[in-house]
Structure 1
Amino acid sequence: MDSPHGAAVKAEDFGLKGPRGWAFRGIGLDAAPGSLIAVEGPSGTGRTCLLLALTGRMKPTEGHAEIGRHRLPKKMAAVRRIAALGPVPGINDLDQSLTVAEQLREGALLQRHYGAPIRSLLRPRAERRATAAARIEAALDAAGLDLATLPKGERTTVRDLERLEAVRLSVAIALLGSPRLLALDDLDIKLSDTERTEVWALLRSIAARGVTVLAVCSEAPADAVVLRTGPKEDGGAPEAKQPTGAAGTPKITWGTRAKDGAKADRDAEAEADADGHAAVEKDSGERQDAAADAEKPAKADDGNDSNDDSNDDNDDTKGADDALAEAGRA
């Protein structure tokens, strides 16, 4: 698996308004490539919407952000190509009926079919399979998931995985696409204190490999670049929280709480697509068909950013193709 240079993440007065009010607003951030970024805040303060907006899946209402050299909201499609989703409940859930091996093969097929340069589809089948196997092995190693430790090895069904194992599997699938930005949601859910420590250690190791990591949590570690959501009680300018050992102080501001709290956050996420604010991945029933058709040549990203970026204005409303492409990365 490649180890691409991470993407810098910058935002200024970044905000997203849904039908029921602001999901988040006034977000500011300046994080270097390869950073470990923690979006910290209570549930209902727009954390998930912020994650999806910074990865090009939801269209912001005001302000701007820059992921790598791609500016949001104009270059949403370009950002989606370099930003992969790890576990994000309700967006890219693992298929509970598949085995671990099947889930990994499906991820590799989708990534190759939609995310690889078209010249790779012209290689001999045996070579493509060997390349996919090597990428899967490297991704599992980076995610710290040893299939031999699972109850039935690679034949273990996803529904039988422990929460920490499922997180590692989702991360491995996301890393198959060699992203420059890896995003994860609800990192604290159903994990013990010991397991949380393990997950943060995993994310640090991924960031050390050169991939920028963006993780939503309720409590951030001391060495992360912290982006807090929710109201600022004293009404003053927030104090930036500097990660331990970091050079310089990250530029961080607070986002305001959504109008109706958790309800507004949920409504903004659920209804933004209909309101013209979303490019969220769809959990399509066509995933199996896409995997079955993956051996057929199809139009794919040829890696030419200059040509791709010229079409980004029209890419923001892509349908199933972009959704399936991101499902393969995430």
Structure 2
Amino acid sequence: MESAHGAAVTADGLGLKGPRGWAFREVTFSVSPGSLVAIEGPSGSGRTCLLLALTGRMRATEGEATAGGLRLPRRAAAVRRIAALGPVPGVSELDPAFTVAEHLRERALLQRRFDGSLRALLRPRRERVAAARARIDGALEAAGLDPAALPKAERTSVRDLERLEALRLSVALALIGRPRLLAVDDTDLKLSDAERAEAWELLRSLAAGGTTVLAVCSQAPEDAVTVRTGSTGATAPTDTREPAPQADPAHEEGTADALAETGHA
């Protein structure tokens, strides 16, 4: 039976072919809700494309997959509603000119406008603000990011964050929506050994709390369910560059509207 929170994820012979050849192929695995899944492989082996396919952002060419019992790609829109992206270059990147506070306010506003119930939207403004602040604080705590410890607290610009701090902020933004499935790209990129250990400990804690986590990496930890791309069992792409991921147009429009409303456009 599906967990009330985390999402089970399955893939059977999943493959994606782009104009330059196969990004990934013959991916098969099955995990229960609350699992930590490491998508391991060298850069250019289709890791990001697989991540986006499993979260309903890219359409696979062959095979089958499900997330939270929802079949892909037929139910891709529904999968996007239960899945959230952490940092994914070209899709969900942080704006270096924004402060931590601006990113958090924007995401909370998007959450309220596009995912909130009518009853929630009609609540008094004071209650809405308090609820949004509580959701932000909970996400920050779960992501292990303490704004008070940053150089300028929440007024710190993203460009001034360390790599691990930026990763935690991206995860916190994703967690504001309370997703059942969290996807993180380049988990161990440009991190020291100590920072890499902290990053995996963060993702373990989220999985232990019930959220299913998909994390792209160059080297998977021993305790994760490891899905490898670019293996000998798969057809190698004719070009090692991954097809450029495409952002969800509805998300981009929603972000623009939210920026205008908050005065950041």
After TM superposition, the score normalised by the length of structure 1 is 0.75
Matched, 1:281 2:256: no
Whichever of the two has the greater Rg, that structure is 1
**Structure 1 residues 213 and 112: CA distance shift in structure 2, 3 A:** same
**Alignment-mate amino acid for residue 290 of structure 1:** A
- How far does residue 119 in structure 1 lie from its aligned partner after superposition? 2.4
CA contact (8 A) 2:110 2:254 kept: no
Question: Quick one: distance in 2 between partners of 1:118 and 1:258?
Answer: 47
Which secondary structure does the structure 1 equivalent of 2:95 belong to? coil
Q: Are the aligned partners of 2:40 and 2:216 in contact in 1 as well (CA < 8 Å)?
A: yes
AA aligned opposite 2:219: E
Task: Give the counterpart letter for 2:235 in structure 1.
Answer: T
Q: Name the counterpart of 2:244.
A: 269
Structure 1 residue 76, shift from structure 2 partner? 0.3
Q: Could you tell me which amino acid in structure 1 is paired with residue 255 of structure 2?
A: R
The residue number in structure 2 matching 1:93 is 93
CA drift of 1:6 comes to: 0.6
2:188·2:199 contact (CA, 8 Å) conserved in 1?
no
Q: Deviations over 1:18-41 (max 9, x none)?
A: 112111111101011000000001
User: Following TM superposition, by how much is the alpha carbon of 1:188 offset from its aligned partner in structure 2, in angstroms?
Assistant: 1.6
Q: Are residues 152 and 293 of structure 1, via their aligned partners in 2, closer, same or farther at CA, if it must alter by over 3 Å? A: closer
CA distance in 2 between counterparts of 1:224 and 1:44 reads 21
The residue number in structure 2 matching 1:240 is: none
The aligned amino acid for 2:99 is T
How far off its partner does 1:191 sit?
0.7
**Counterpart residue number, 2:258:** 290
List 4+ stretches of structure 1 deviating above 3 A: 282-286, 291-294
CA distance in 1, matches of 2:235, 2:9: 20
Counterpart in 1 of 2:209?
A: 209
User: Deviations for 1:165-202, whole angstroms, at most 9, x for unmatched residues?
Assistant: 00000000000000000000011211111000000000
User: What RMSD in Å do the two structures reach over aligned CA positions?
Assistant: 1.8
- For the residues of structure 2 that align with 1:119 and 1:48, how far apart are their CA atoms? 37
Q: Is the 8 A contact 1:41 1:47 kept in 2?
A: yes
Structure 1 residue 117: deviation in Å? 2.1
**Mapped partners of 1:181, 1:97: distance in 2:** 28
CA deviation after TM superposition for structure 1 residue 284, in Å: 4.1
The reply on whether 1:256 has 2:235 as its aligned counterpart is yes
Q: Is the 8 A contact 2:185 2:216 kept in 1?
A: yes
Distance 1:96 1:16, change over 3 A: same
Question: Counterpart amino acid of 1:256?
Answer: T
Residue 285 of structure 1 and its aligned partner are, at CA, apart by 7.8
Q: How far apart are 1:288 and its partner, in Å?
A: 4.5
Matches of 2:161 and 2:111, distance apart in 1? 23
Q: Which runs of 5+ in 2 are unaligned?
A: none
Secondary structure at the counterpart of residue 269 of structure 1: coil
For residues 93-112 of structure 1, the aligned pairs below 5 Å read 93-112=93-112
Residues of 2 paired with 1:122 and 1:180: CA distance? Answer: 26
Counterpart amino acid of 1:269? A
Instruction: Read off the aligned partner of 1:125 and give its amino acid letter.
Output: R
Report the equivalent of 1:74.
Answer: 74
Is 1:55 matched with 2:55?
yes
Q: 1 CA distance for matches of 2:198 and 2:236?
A: 30
- The equivalent residue for 1:225 is 225
Say whether the 8 Å CA contact 1:4–1:179 is kept in structure 2: no
CA offset at residue 256 of structure 1?
Answer: 3.1
Q: How far off its partner does 1:257 sit?
A: 2.2
Q: Secondary structure at the match of 1:52?
A: helix
Distance 2:261 2:120 in 1: 16
Alpha-carbon distance in 1 for matches of 2:161, 2:142: 18
Compute the displacement of 1:292 (Å).
4.0
* Conserved? CA contact 2:108–2:176, under 8 Å: yes
In structure 2, the residue matched to 1:40 is 40
